[in-house]
Structure 1
Amino acid sequence: MKNIFLMVALVAAGSWSTAQELYGEATYFSKGSIDKSFLEGNRDITPDQRKRIEDNLKKASEKTFILKFNRNESIWQQEVALAAPGQGGGWGNFMGSSMGGDKYKNITTNTFTEQRDMMGKTFLIKDDLPQLDWQITGESRKIGNYTAVKATAVKKNDDLDMSAFRRRRDEDTKKKEEDGTMKLTDMFEKDDTTTVTAWFTPEIPVQHGPAEYGGLPGLILELNTNGTTMLCTKIVLNPEKRDKIQAETKGEEIKLEEYNATFTKKMEEMSERFRGGRGGRGRN
């Protein structure tokens, strides 16, 4: 079954290559699971406050992205709505700019480039694309007008992949929270690996997909990992107007692992200052 779908993909790729230079734009709706455990049992939060918090968490977990691609390159960009007056700054803005910007991928060189801002400094992450050992199952279904084939892989979680973290609920964590000695790293635990499920279509024979994913014989239309689903809701192929696909060039070049370590250190420093500003609550 696996070889059949690979053959279909190769045949489709051959027919496309003789027809025209492929360019496409795919729109994805991303939705992540929400951990509301910190709201449970909190008597300081009124029902109205809880509803507002839950609504804000829901909005933060739902995003729209555009994947622009040709045969060998792609760029993954978030569609950002204009913020209402008084919004768009603060912690959410800091996390957004620090955790990810436009992601350029080149499957010929097997590399990606991503610009991120951290505390007023611009970094340019340049690194190799993650290589997943995809297992094509042969299971298929329709997504929109396209036939999609299921594939799975086990992926090592990135150190800053927030969807891989879970809030700790053990007694030791509760004690540290009460006496004011808890560090940011004490609050959460992270799974080392996760299973990724992708649905790709050989009818669009490019090895691209949402975020950092790709490497299958067809465009990934749906991807599920760590409680997050990214679903393609619209595809436009070979429009008259085509945007140029290119990597950002501004910023201090850095590897992903080094950037993650720098970000984690900054977060710990901010956590230390926050605890100090509270006057060491709970200490004698």
Structure 2
Amino acid sequence: MTTITRILILMLIAVVSPIGAQDFQGIATYKTHRDFDIKMDSTKMNDAMQKQMMEMMKKQFQKTYLLTFDRSSSVYKQEIELSKPQVGGGFQVSFGSSGSDVFYKNVKHKTYVDQKETMGKKFLIKDSIAPIQWQLQSDTKHIGEYICFKATYTKQVPKVNLNFNSKPNIGDENEEEKEPEMEERIITAWYTPQIPVSNGPAKYQGLPGLILEIHDGKLTVICSKIVINPEEKVGIEVPTKGKEVSQTEYDDIMENKTKEMMERYAPSRGSKDGAIQISIGG
């Protein structure tokens, strides 16, 4: 499909889109899940325990989010669910993000405000939206009643190796910190020009239509429901609670806190404590 043909199709879809009013609002529901590939010490954890931990970690990332949006701004936050009590086992699995987190984005002014509660502290991250170099593809598919187009972009990300068999070398002052090994990742998005807003879940945006599906490494985000112009309007408000920092400042704080926790909870020699606690931030 040529670029000119693509533009004509996008214009045609926008014209026949049911969203004709200048002012409108929508609420999109997204489901997320993440795949895992974690190696654990078989001498400390049998197959049944490993399976149980993997299922618990998988459920932690099976979440539902609501994106409330208009033509220029949006609020993305988790739909709160009552947590179920953990039965049996010695596991405690916790993650850095909180159900009270709110991500506000203004695609017109290219800014965002990310209200996060991490490790018991509230932060208000204010920064500019980084442009995404999307490559528009010719592939199409339907998601619900909407025709969607494919777009991709490539980014460099730190290579993560969650190997619990290895023991970290902590406390060696002579050991220089090594730069993280990087790898190339292709992010795939499916967007619909039938909802002509340059927005999407979390920090994904910048396409000629609402993003309904994202594949980013082992993370998958899929839209399961859309309501255009709900009867009761929902306010899109900028979050205000927390210590104000930039994204770089927040990343530095989290990196230092993670190092502190690794040193504090590093297993001591001869330890017989069978309980396992894993904390994954972000």
> TM-score when scaled to structure 1?
0.80
- Structure 2: runs of 5+ lacking an equivalent: 272-282
> 203, 208, 215: which one pairs with 1:212?
203
Q: 1:61 to 1:189 in 2, by over 3 A?
A: farther
C-alpha distance in structure 1 between counterparts of 2:48 and 2:144, whole Å: 39
Secondary structure at the counterpart of residue 161 of structure 2: strand
Query: Cα offset for 1:266?
Result: 1.1
The equivalent residue for 1:32 is 34
Describe the SS at the equivalent of 1:165. Answer: coil
Could you tell me how far 1:141 is from its partner in structure 2? Answer: 1.2
Kept in 1: contact 2:149–2:190 (CA 8 A): yes
Q: Is the 8 A contact 2:97 2:118 kept in 1?
A: no
Q: Distance in 1 between matches of 2:236 and 2:189?
A: 24
1:252 corresponds to: 243
Q: CA deviation at 1:45?
A: 1.9
1:253: how far off? 1.4
Offset, 1:126: 0.6
Measured after TM superposition, the shift of residue 244 of structure 1 is 0.4
1:143 has 2:138 as partner: no
Within a 5 Å distance, the mapping from 1:218-257 to structure 2 comes to: 218-257=209-248
2:279 pairs with 1:278:
no
- The reply to whether residue 5 of structure 1 matches residue 6 of structure 2 is yes
Q: Shift of the alpha carbon at 1:260?
A: 0.5
Q: Could you say if the C-alpha distance between residues 190 and 209 of structure 1 is closer, same or farther in structure 2, counting changes exceeding 3 Å?
A: farther
Partner of 2:78: 78
TM-superposed deviation, 1:180 = 6.7
Alignment of 1:26-105 (within 5 A): 26-38=28-40, 42-85=42-85, 92=94, 95-97=96-98, 101-105=101-105
- Which of 15, 21, 24 lines up with 1:22 in the alignment? 24
TM-superposed CA distance for 1:191, in Å, is 3.4
How many aligned residue pairs are there?
263
Gaps of 5+ in 1: none
Change (3 A) 1:91 1:261: farther
Cα shift at 1:247: 1.5
Maintained 8 Å contact 1:9/1:205: no
- Using a 3 Å threshold, how does the CA distance of structure 1 residues 80 and 165 change in structure 2: closer, same or farther? farther
Q: Cα distance 1:101–1:156, how it changes in 2: closer, same or farther (>3 A)?
A: farther
More helix, by proportion: 1
